Chains A and B, each alone.
Chain A
Amino acid sequence: MSRSLPRIVITGVGLAAPNGDNLPAFRQALLEGVSGVELFETRYMEPVPAGICHFDQYKYQSKKAARRGTRAGGISIYCANEAVADAGIDLATRDLSAVGVFIGITEHGTVETENEVYNLGTYQNDVKYWTHHHNPRTVANNPAGEVTLNLKITGPHLCLGAACAAGNVGLIYGAQMLQLGEVDLALAGGVSESVRSFGVFASFAAQGALARNDDPTKACRPFDTQRSGVVVAEGGALFTLERLDDALARNAKIYGELVGWAYNSDASDFVLPNPERQAQCMRKALKMAGLTPDRIDIVNTHGTGTAQGDEFECQAIRSVFAGSTRTHTNNTKSFIGHAMGAAGALELAGNLPSFSDGMVHPTINLTELDPECALPNLVIGTPKKLDRVETILNNSFGMLGINSAVVVKRYDGN
């Protein structure tokens, strides 16, 4: 890093993906072309293709706690426990007031409010039937707060509302809190429970941007001429982040170093992306990392499978990486759909093993490339083996014009 701030590393990964309940399983699915998209029943609509997680929600949480809390809280608790275990950290030996929980979310409270309004309708809208659990379930810090209750963490916690850039933004905030010395350990990333809201599907449908396909596993097809929109998914990924010196002192496994990041604003439209601002965001993250584009091995695209979104992102990537023969591009949503607030964190997690296995996972469901979506070395259909993967740039963009990019570098002891 160009600034004299503490270096930040990823030492643990906990995730819930539609096609894997932990990093090895998720990675295997991504390398073997296994989709996690299925037909899903939602209120008021025909069944829709969606990415649904099947992790054991009672592994770390009582049935009572799950009943009282939210799906996003349950996903967060699962991911947090898995990340801490993966990092080899015994929280009983830590100062829990120096542990922070920072979780990116696209939205929160939509699911719980929809459910309660529906329930109220079955009681003739008599508000004495409105649950006393509504407010604690819908406060914006709910998912992170549920983690602190579960793990008895007394340091800071919050959720970061950053639309579909939130997974990256949660990670960035965790790193900054470590650099500031506000915490000694950060649980950071993103979660989403959006598939439990019919309104999220219905709104994409109203926008003409909800994917449909007779085969749900083929519904999410970024960059393909036949792409028809977004496949909504649920999931989560939380990382344990530590300062490099702390990680080395406890001889921790290091997945990679967060060497650069940026997030910025389009200031141009509610929903339409802005390729110029996206390119600016990537360049800013590269500058912080002290890397030129030709030093990036993998760019994980945001690509959701919408007509304009994919086209604009590809313009942005071409403008930054056009001269780089070393850079390969791929897409994770083609396997799992768009995990909204979790997307950035989950997709980064799915690519981290590239540092050890040297593989670039592909984008699937791409049978006819839209010429407007041509990308440098786009890996299609099957994984590609590289001699060595040193760097990953992870894109994640969201509505209201929020862009984020994170650069992670292999840690080799220097």
Chain B
Amino acid sequence: MTKDAIRQAIVDIIQEILPDEDMGGIELDKPLRDQLELDSMDFLDIVMELRKRYHIEVPEKDYMELNTLGSTIAYLEPKMANL
């Protein structure tokens, strides 16, 4: 997957978890929690959707990598490059 495709894949997952929110203006380097109504259960939903849709495991020690959209893309790029 390209970097843009990975970005879109993450946004699609967050949109499903937060159907009321507008995904248009998410800033790459700002914590997702500061921009969206995301709590710890929602982050677990993101982890679950990555597992279900792309068979990607995000171990608990790596959860902080999902802090911003930019850090999430960077973290997932090597894992999704061959998808």
Contacts and interface: CB of A to CB of B under 8 A. Distances in A.
Nearest to A68: B41
Interface string A103-147: 000000000000000000001000011011100000000000000
A128 B41 contact: no
B20 A132 contact: no
A131 B21 CA distance: 22
B44 interface: yes
A132 B48 contact: yes
Interface in B41-78: 41, 44-45, 48, 51-52
Interface in B1-58: 17-21, 37, 41, 44-45, 48, 51-52
Nearest to B38: A64
Contacts of B45: 132
B17 A129 contact: no
A64 B18 contact: yes
A129 B41 contact: no
A129 to B, nearest CB: 7
Nearest to B37: A64
A62 B41 contact: no
Contacts of B20: 62-64
A3 interface: no
A67 interface: yes
Given A132-B41, A132-B44, A64 B51 contact: no
Bin chain B's interface residue count: 10 to 19
A131 B48 CA distance: 8
A63 B19 contact: yes
A133 B44 CA distance: 10
Contacts, number: 23
Contact of A128 (B19, B21, B51): B51
Interface of A is mostly: helix
Contacts of A68: 41
Nearest to B16: A67
Interface residues of A, number: 11
A133 B45 CA distance: 9
A129 B19 contact: no
Contact of A129 (B18, B21, B44, B51): B51
B37 to A, nearest CB: 7
Interface string A48-77: 000000000000001110011000000000
Contact of B48 (A62, A64, A67, A129): A129
Contacts of A128: 51
B19 A64 contact: yes
Given A62-B20, A64-B19, A67-B19, A133 B51 contact: no
A62 B37 CA distance: 12
Contacts of A131: 48
Nearest to B40: A132
Nearest to B52: A129
Contacts of A62: 20
Nearest to B19: A63
Contacts of A133: 41
A132 B41 CA distance: 8
Nearest to A65: B20
Nearest to A130: B48
A364 B44 CA distance: 50
Nearest to B41: A132
Q: Pick from A64, A68, A128, A129 the residue with the most CB of B within 10 Å.
A: A64
B8 to A, nearest CB: 21
Interface of B: 17-21, 37, 41, 44-45, 48, 51-52
Given A67-B17, A132-B41, 14 more contacts: A62-B20, A63-B19, A63-B20, A64-B17, A64-B18, A64-B20, A67-B19, A128-B51, A129-B51, A129-B52, A131-B48, A132-B45, A132-B48, A133-B41
11 contacts: A62-B20, A63-B19, A64-B18, A64-B19, A64-B20, A64-B37, A68-B41, A129-B48, A129-B51, A129-B52, A131-B48
Interface of A: 62-64, 67-68, 123, 128-129, 131-133
* Among all A-B residue pairs, the 3 with the closest Cβ atoms: A63-B19, A132-B44, A62-B20
